[in-house]
Amino acid sequence: MKSDLYVLAAKRTPVGSFGGSLKKLSAVQLGVLSSKAAIESAQVSGEDFLQSIFGNVCSFSSADGPYLARHIALRSELPIGVGAYNVNRLCGSGFEAILHADRWANEEGWCLVGGAESMSQTPLIVREAREGFKFARPPQMIDSLWEALTDAYIKQPMGITAENLAAEFSISRQDCDEWSLKSHQRAARAADAGFTKEEMLTLENLSHDEHIRRDSSIEKLQKLSPVFGGVTTAGNASGMNDAAASLIVSGSKFYEKWKTNSKRPALARIVASQVVGCDPAKMGLGPVQAVQKLCEETGWKLSEIDYVEINEAFAAQILAVKKALQLSDEQLNPHGSGISLGHPLGATGARISTHVANLIGAGHYRRAIAGACIGGGQGIAVAFEAVNE
């Protein structure tokens, strides 16, 4: 689908580890932090906002989760009249929220978009308790996070879908551990080189991405036991994390007004996007067809794209995508991704988009593709490019 959205500003919180430094902040609170920073960076006035649109998956991680986009807008001091809604395309939710702004692109104003997630605050739940239960037979407590990470349609947790790809693409445990180590090393180098400095907030209790393991090694990774009996371990899978990312976007008409007033160009332009379905048992391959269709639509050659980031749900998954798309080591995820930076579900797409937009805005790249596999069997891909001034 063609797009014409301009990213005026993009900010994010650090990514917190599961049960880590950000565990006491709700998804709404995290979203407010990133949104206030994005609004300040864009230097935009509240009365010109059209909508607040946010991706979120674990909507009951806090009492105000179902109100997330609305409460982020209100607590970020946007006017009462600004509309708001949440979107949930699972792991693609952060991307989806941004793309929803296309609906408002012809209006005179901008949208606050992004994603927010607190996986640390996902609750344990009791199903079928409203009608009571028999004496001495209390209902079972269910981990809502594990339940969310299991596809009831195919009766498989997401990790098994990665094992399916490992078997199909002949991906070994050694391959997975080597990619995991590479992801952590790349993320650490990117942070040290300042590639995330402009996009990331410094919070009182966290000023860096907490999930990066700087002391990771092949020896340490190989000591970890497989979780599903195959190649996947806690060390070569994405993290469960807490984070938020927010972007200010507008259509071309209102962008020209903003550019005149701010006397600076947008960080990047969103050119097109694609969302496809795939076999749920091989959900990790979703980005393959999405990227291919995106290249067909834009006329871009994948081999010529400056920067490609596909979220690393599992090492086996990203290696399967790498093989299927014939991407080089240097081209794919040069700054790390989900394994090293973490995967805060509804925030991941916004986190990646924030990174890509800031990289392009700083002049590091001209074109980029970002994407993710999606539980249930989908893939999403988005094309970004520099704004020609």
| DSSP per residue, 310-348 | E--SBHHHHHHHHHHHT--TTTB-TT--HHHH-B-GGGH
The arithmetic mean of pLDDT across residues 117-125, rounded, is: 97
What fold does the segment set 1-122+151-389 form as a domain? Peroxisomal Thiolase; Chain A, domain 1 (3.40.47)
Q: Which one of 91, 111, 176, 278 is the catalytic residue?
A: 91
The predicted pLDDT at position 335 comes to: 98
pTM for the full predicted model: 0.97
Average pLDDT, the chain: 96
Q: Is 276 exposed, middle or buried (0-12, 13-18, 19+ CB in 10 A)?
A: buried
* All structural domains of the chain with their residue ranges: 1-122+151-389
Q: Is the pLDDT of residue 168 over 70?
A: yes
Rounded CA-CA distance 91/94 in Å is 8
| Whether the predicted pLDDT of 144 surpasses 70 | yes
Known active-site residue 91: yes
